[in-house]
Amino acid sequence: MAADILLYDAEIVPVGKDQIQHLEITRDVAARFNNQMGETFVLPLAKIEESTQFIPGTDGEKMSKSKNNTINVFLPEKALQKQIMSIQTDSVSLDDPKDPEKCNIFTLYSLLAPVKSINELRNKYINGGMGYGYVKQLLFELILDKFSEERQKFDYYHQHPEEVNIELSKGAEKARMVAKEVLLRVRKKIGY
């Protein structure tokens, strides 16, 4: 991670609160090299987005690919629906009121839905008479609607990988040019 940051002269690096230590290690590596060899690397600053929220996964823990608790909005509809229907819930009966603030589905829905829809759903939770299957279906439909354009683009590029490869090649060339300058500076400083 430090090499990726330093290799491209990153000045500001957007990080989550749980990643600050990685950036501090990067700054330490750069500062030590700069102190020993002269000004070579940019000392990157962390940019922490304060509005970043904890997003629960399908198991209620922090959403993470390594925990396999994500919702992949690019899955085919049936697979996406199955993934959403697997979201863990409590065992409160259909007729009983439910606490929306303690529900993973409600939290995920709230991240995507308009305020009016969120408030309507909150009232349904509080009043009871609604099951979690209903809310999971609402979330499924909301995701399909909210990400319809992105899903179409994903499907298009999935079917046309040559276009993706062309763009990746262009990006790699741009990155190579920046990295080459940094590597030349490093080599010059160490006498290589």
What are 2-41's pLDDT values in tens digits?
A: 899 999 999 999 888 778 899 999 999 999 999 999 999 9
Give residue 52's pLDDT.
67
Alpha carbons 98 and 128: distance in angstroms, whole number: 6
C-alpha to C-alpha distance for 103 and 47, rounded to whole angstroms: 30
Task: Please name the residues in contact with 192: beta carbons below 8 A apart, sequence gap of 6 or more.
Answer: none
Structure tokens at 190: 């160490």
**Residue type at position 4:** D
Average pLDDT along the chain, 192 residues, taken 10 residues at a time: 91 86 94 95 89 82 90 97 94 92 94 96 95 96 98 97 97 94 94 87
